A and B are shown apart, each in its own frame.
Chain A
Amino acid sequence: MPGVFTVFQREIGSYFTSLYAYLIAFAILIITGILFITDLDNAAGQRPPDPSVIPTFLSFAMIFFAPLLTMRLLAEEKREGTLELLLTSPASDTGIVVGKFLGSWAYFTLILAITFIYQIILIGIAQPDLVHAISAYLGIWLYGGACLAVGMVFSAITENQIVAAFLASAILFLLWIGDRVGQVVTNIDFARVLRELTLQGHFSTSFAYGLLHAEDVVYFAGIIVVMLFITIRLVESNRWR
């Protein structure tokens, strides 16, 4: 994949020079901080603190945050015309797309790592279930990667960042709500299939309880691979217009 590392580096750099990326990180850190303190307060003296409180919140919040982190990725390159330079460089289309995806995932990982500090603080004041915490974090890390990959597809579809973010949010919302629909459907088999397809179905009853199932890892990895594949084809299609 020629070009992947250079594109990755530039992408990371562009998150650190953009105000709105800081704002997203700031929003996530504020909200998770409040959730952490609230949970600690509720738990005090009654139960151990819940290590998956932040991952569970993020499993909902990524519906909105992931598209905000990815809307720029390809839409801006198209609008500014830099995509033409990228596509005429010796970098491969795959290298460009994967580099960009890894850039956004790395930025998300960094935000996640900062919230993990809360768990470490807990070690000093309570006996947190660290295995549970690590499982929940691994889960949301993969879950977030899948959301970012979905977001990138929509960034490749349009030059308009707002449209890209809106469409990605809508699709992620459907993938998220699908799980709730599964709970009210009367046909058990249909409900099960529906649940297997949704993001929540592979998180809320496994990773969030500290359970690590290979099938859930495969599900998120599969979403990422499929979405990257679609994005590569979409980027390639610019050559045929």
Chain B
Amino acid sequence: MIEVKHLTKRYGTRLAVDNISFKAGAGEIVGLLGPNGAGKTTTMRILTGFMPPNGGSATIAGFDVMRNSVKARGQVGYLPERVPVYPDMTVHGYVAFWAKLRGAPNPRAQADQVLERVQLSDRRNTLIRNLSKGMRQRLGLAQALVHNPPVVILDEPTIGIDPQQVIEVRDEVRKLGQDHTVLLSTHILSEAEQVCDRVIIINKGHIVAQGKPAELRRKLQPEMHLYVVLGGKRDGGEKLLRSISGVEAVEASGEGFNVRVKKGADIRTELIDKALRAGYNIQEMRPVMMTLENMFLDIIGREA
């Protein structure tokens, strides 16, 4: 549905997007994850036909965003970073306007449907200037969905709203995956993990990693950590752990030890064996997952 090849965008001499390539299939929810200034908004602006790239190409539902711009734009619903509104229009008038401009067959009825969906029906005739921030965000979502586009592009859809509404918007986005291809950007890792089928991590304009959240975690986790609590004897635990082949480092942590293991090695059998033979018992042994959050910071830190 979305296909991006070697996309590059420069602002003057500053490289904002640097040779990015990725795909999003029908019904897939793909997250662009990156810190401020990573190039998320720029990528989305190219995909929505707002600005042309300096190099590379992108297609939406088979239409090239440069050569067949009008057709490509017709396939997209777009929620920009800052929800753009006409403060003096009513909620319904606003949504119906965008539906009509994008060629929806039945703008007024479709506007009513989408307002139902984002729970703004009771505000149908309210002037937009009187809406709260959370309501505006949902209005922005309504505007992006009203013409039922195959591709939906959402730039930081949960920014600046309260936790309850964040949950609601995320649920709504998850549901979108049933009949839309969704590309959303965020700098919140847990959001990408919860909502997306696939995550693309970008930093300083290029892709540093991509994959399913679980895959990413596996691929990027450098080595396994084990947390072990030994009982039975007081001292010598650290020495024992170090003597096991495959162990790279041991450090005391709380009542037990953090054991860093070489990539691919599995020390668990040997550990149990040796510990029992030396008169220890094992009170606790569990793998320590590096959270995606740590990983994200780690990758970005390595870049810098």
Contact code string B5-22 (vs A, CB < 8 Å = 1, else 0): 000000100000000000
In this complex, how many residues of chain B approach chain A with their Cβ under 8 Å: the count is 30
Residues of B within 8 A of A84 (CB): 45, 50, 80, 84
Residues of B within 8 A of A13 (CB): 89, 93
10 tightest A-B contacts by CB?
A81-B84, A88-B48, A82-B84, A90-B74, A6-B101, A239-B51, A6-B100, A88-B50, A89-B101, A90-B73
Select one of A14, A240, A241 contacting B86, CB under 8 A: A14
Residues of B within 8 A of A2 (CB): 70
Closest chain A residue, CB of each to CB of B74: A90
Q: Does B78 contact A (CB under 8 A)?
A: yes
Q: Does A91 contact B (CB under 8 A)?
A: yes
Residues of A within 8 A of B84 (CB): 80-85
Residues of B within 8 A of A239 (CB): 50-52
Question: How far does the alpha carbon of A72 sit from the alpha carbon of B2 in the complex, in Å?
Answer: 36
B86 lies within 8 A of A82 (CB) = yes
Which chain A residues numbered 82 to 100 have a C-beta less than 8 Å away from chain B?
82-92
Select one of B52, B70, B74, B143 contacting A92, CB under 8 A: B70
26 A/B residue pairs, CB under 8 Å, sorted by A: A2-B70, A6-B97, A10-B89, A10-B97, A17-B88, A18-B88, A81-B82, A81-B83, A82-B85, A82-B86, A83-B84, A84-B50, A84-B80, A85-B98, A86-B101, A88-B48, A88-B73, A90-B71, A90-B73, A90-B74, A90-B101, A90-B102, A92-B70, A239-B50, A239-B51, A239-B52
Question: How far does the alpha carbon of A92 sit from the alpha carbon of B49 in the complex, in Å?
Answer: 12
B86 lies within 8 A of A80 (CB) = yes
A88 lies within 8 A of B101 (CB) = no
Total contacts A to B, CB within 8 angstroms?
67
Question: How far does the alpha carbon of A48 sit from the alpha carbon of B143 in the complex, in Å?
Answer: 58
Closest chain A residue, CB of each to CB of B99: A6
Interface residues, chain A, with chain B CB atoms under 8 Å away: 2-3, 6-7, 10, 13-14, 17-18, 80-92, 239-241
Q: Does B141 contact A (CB under 8 A)?
A: no
**Main secondary structure on chain A at its contact with chain B?**
helix
Q: Does B103 contact A (CB under 8 A)?
A: yes
B98 lies within 8 A of A89 (CB) = yes
Closest chain A residue, CB of each to CB of B143: A85
Question: How far does the alpha carbon of A2 sit from the alpha carbon of B70 in the complex, in Å?
Answer: 10
Residues of A within 8 A of B87 (CB): 80
Question: How far does the alpha carbon of A86 sit from the alpha carbon of B48 in the complex, in Å?
Answer: 11
Closest chain A residue, CB of each to CB of B44: A88
Residues of A within 8 A of B98 (CB): 85, 89
Select one of A18, A80, A90, A92 contacting B103, CB under 8 A: A90
Which chain B residues numbered 100 to 115 have a C-beta less than 8 Å away from chain A?
100-103
Question: How far does the alpha carbon of A81 sit from the alpha carbon of B51 in the complex, in Å?
Answer: 14
Q: How distant is B99 from chain A, measured CB to nearest CB, in Å? A: 10
A90 lies within 8 A of B88 (CB) = no
Contact code string B211-233 (vs A, CB < 8 Å = 1, else 0): 00000000000000000000000
Closest chain A residue, CB of each to CB of B85: A80
Residues of B within 8 A of A85 (CB): 78, 80, 84, 98, 143
Residues of B within 8 A of A241 (CB): 11, 51
Question: How far does the alpha carbon of A80 sit from the alpha carbon of B136 in the complex, in Å?
Answer: 13
- Given A6-B97, A6-B101, 10 more A-B residue pairs with CB atoms under 8 Å apart are A14-B88, A81-B83, A82-B85, A84-B45, A85-B84, A85-B143, A89-B102, A90-B71, A91-B101, A239-B51
Q: How distant is A157 from chain B, measured CB to nearest CB, in Å? A: 19
Question: How far does the alpha carbon of A84 sit from the alpha carbon of B98 in the complex, in Å?
Answer: 12
Closest chain B residue, CB of each to CB of A92: B70
Question: How far does the alpha carbon of A16 sit from the alpha carbon of B89 in the complex, in Å?
Answer: 11
Q: Does B38 contact A (CB under 8 A)?
A: no
Question: How far does the alpha carbon of A18 sit from the alpha carbon of B78 in the complex, in Å?
Answer: 28
Residues of A within 8 A of B49 (CB): 87-88
